[in-house]
Structure 1
């Protein structure tokens, strides 16, 4: 099969959507697909890290610019001549411009949706229901995201599909993280939060919940792994007298190795599509404490694989953290259950096979 993969830009291979995009490239190539990646805007990362397949950079990404639409159409026409019949499109601007332009060239479009639409502004809300008429399928990574996509973009139910993210995580018993090793040796119970530092992630709730725990028992600490400005969070931790218990690790490539030191994984977001962090926690055998929003309840079962609490309810978050401290064997058992579920639901093979099946269905190719 020949598949076009389209995205606004590639700047951070460790970010959720971009990481899954790059993973999909490798998987589809290994499955024998012929790929062409179309990117609206260039980036320093892309210049330093050329992709392993044919790549075309449009050089214009503004949906307000006629130049963007014309260049996308010209690229679509060339792709059609070269035998491409289907485009899988990621991110916001590409999913506005590409479906109608690709349709004019005779190429079908899949748009991917991976969050609860916090980026929908008045322009997107006005334009997407129109450009969505040219979409053959809207593919989401959770039922919650699919429902929002259908409602806001007016995509018919028959065109909504869900494929959960796929992961291939293995932990090496010899992979050590010195900073976390030292904390463990000191007797600390470590909670972890993996996410880039942004207001929507509500990391201040985790710090406030930590401050409400009995700090004289179990020696609780919080480790935050992700890029972003730590100034305000450090100030909050200091004001709540837990500055020495909150550790900022920044962006890291050894997250699976870090997770083996944790007693539970946290996610405090006010909005989530389907969290990669939750699944990574589960693959590491951790119970998950997360806000009840978006796709989180699809991944975490209350009192079986973790705890769910209402967004912003710091008292409930702290109560769940205290449960990990006070009943560690129960928390460990929940993590074991979570790991078994993750290994059956979120495999690389399952994700790849479902993508290939969808592509074949839309192109009209039998497996």
Structure 2
């Protein structure tokens, strides 16, 4: 017997949660689940690939518009979700990210959906800017069958928000080990990017959003640029969410022109990482980063900030170096230390690759979802074969 699973998210744009779903959902099809995605705002650039992998995506293609029009569209789509759930009657409705939770949860309650789950994939700092969102989310927590976090830090915050421990579940992200792991020779990857084999290459995969800390990273490189090997480059991959021009101005002001390369959204992340020597993540807040475990699966030593699930993924002084957030000086010291010590880079990278294989494989992640869904189905009296 198969069970219907409806995933609700604002859109399938290129981001950590969306990429996570693209990897996980198609693999649920082999475990007796009929899976669909309902996008509350627009389909997003990953929707076509999601459908190609066998997952039906419901959503509209709407142009960017004013905030008021956007909110109105979200409310209309929430009503449409209500009627969709009435018709479809999925056994499980699973919300990803705050907008889907805030607007989708009431639709699922009114539609009397039997099992409701929510996944929080970031720290709850956003509630400080939108205090009303925290209030609304707390009202729905007790109506969920289970609430998921992707790091122990997120789980602790959810517990502080009043979610009973009996409803809390930790499901780490997983990485497809067949895609990462330097299957592509480093020189081949560098040739594609126009980089020399002798260059020392740094990489950061993060959308250009203020809390991702790119400004801190540029300041750190400005502090150590005279001490780095002569031929070095920083590759910045990620969608520009509005601060790209400001960061480019910083590059010129800090004398980093010709060193920093803005690549935009990158589809072939494994090839990009294969070209690198050192990986970076400088966030001010984080849930549990897909980028980190992709770095580690590639065998890269990593410098990451001490926020969210970062220190759970990157073991300090074992697979990389953890530094305080908002601290360009500490970031600079860690980067320079790895830059000048090839043997330490090799030691950390090898340990990182082993850790990912043991703890963060995509297969383990999918199995955790399957076990959780089956457990909750059984708790609701539904037979699982």
TM-score, length basis structure 2: 0.85
- Following the alignment from structure 1 to structure 2, what is the Cα–Cα distance between the partners of residues 138 and 320? 36
- Following the alignment from structure 2 to structure 1, what is the Cα–Cα distance between the partners of residues 309 and 354? 19
Please name the residue that 1:28 is paired with: 28
Please name the residue that 1:148 is paired with: 157
1:366 deviates by 4.4
Q: 1:125 aligns with which of 127, 131, 134?
A: 134
Q: 2:104 aligns with which of 74, 98, 101?
A: 98
Please name the residue that 1:159 is paired with: 167
**In the alignment, is the contact (CA less than 8 A) between 1:88 and 1:109 conserved in 2?**
yes
Give the SS at the match of 1:318: helix
Please name the residue that 2:216 is paired with: 205
- Following the alignment from structure 2 to structure 1, what is the Cα–Cα distance between the partners of residues 268 and 309? 25
Q: 1:254 aligns with which of 225, 247, 268?
A: 268
Question: 1:37-186 to 2 correspondence within 5 Å?
Answer: 37-43=37-43, 45=45, 51=51, 52-57=54-59, 62=71, 67=76, 70-80=79-89, 84-104=90-110, 105-120=112-127, 121-152=130-161, 154-168=162-176, 169-170=179-180, 171-173=182-184, 176-178=188-190, 182-185=194-197
Q: Which runs of 5+ in 2 are unaligned?
A: 62-68
Q: CA deviation digits over 1:304-339, x for unaligned, max 9?
A: 111111111111111111111221111211110011
Please name the residue that 1:226 is paired with: 238
1:263 deviates by 1.7
**In the alignment, is the contact (CA less than 8 A) between 2:208 and 2:238 conserved in 1?**
yes
- Equivalenced residue count is 361
1:137 deviates by 0.6
Decide whether aligned partners of structure 1 residues 48 and 88 sit closer, same or farther in structure 2, where only a CA change above 3 A counts.
closer
Q: CA deviation digits over 1:190-220, x for unaligned, max 9?
A: 1111111111111111111112225355233
Decide whether aligned partners of structure 1 residues 289 and 173 sit closer, same or farther in structure 2, where only a CA change above 3 A counts.
same
1:91 deviates by 2.1
Decide whether aligned partners of structure 1 residues 68 and 133 sit closer, same or farther in structure 2, where only a CA change above 3 A counts.
farther
1:92 deviates by 1.7
Q: Which protein has greater RCO, CA pairs closer than 8 Å, 6+ apart? A: 2
Please name the residue that 2:251 is paired with: 237
1:65 deviates by 7.8
**In the alignment, is the contact (CA less than 8 A) between 1:268 and 1:311 conserved in 2?**
yes
Decide whether aligned partners of structure 1 residues 353 and 243 sit closer, same or farther in structure 2, where only a CA change above 3 A counts.
same
**In the alignment, is the contact (CA less than 8 A) between 1:63 and 1:97 conserved in 2?**
no
Q: Which runs of 5+ in 1 are unaligned?
A: none
Residue range with higher mean Cα deviation, 200-209 or 226-235:
226-235
Cα RMSD (Å) of the superposition? 2.6
- Following the alignment from structure 1 to structure 2, what is the Cα–Cα distance between the partners of residues 151 and 180? 48
Give the SS at the match of 1:37: strand
TM-score, length basis structure 1: 0.89
- Following the alignment from structure 2 to structure 1, what is the Cα–Cα distance between the partners of residues 254 and 366? 46
User: Is residue 2:307 matched to residue 1:307?
Assistant: no
- Following the alignment from structure 1 to structure 2, what is the Cα–Cα distance between the partners of residues 117 and 308? 21
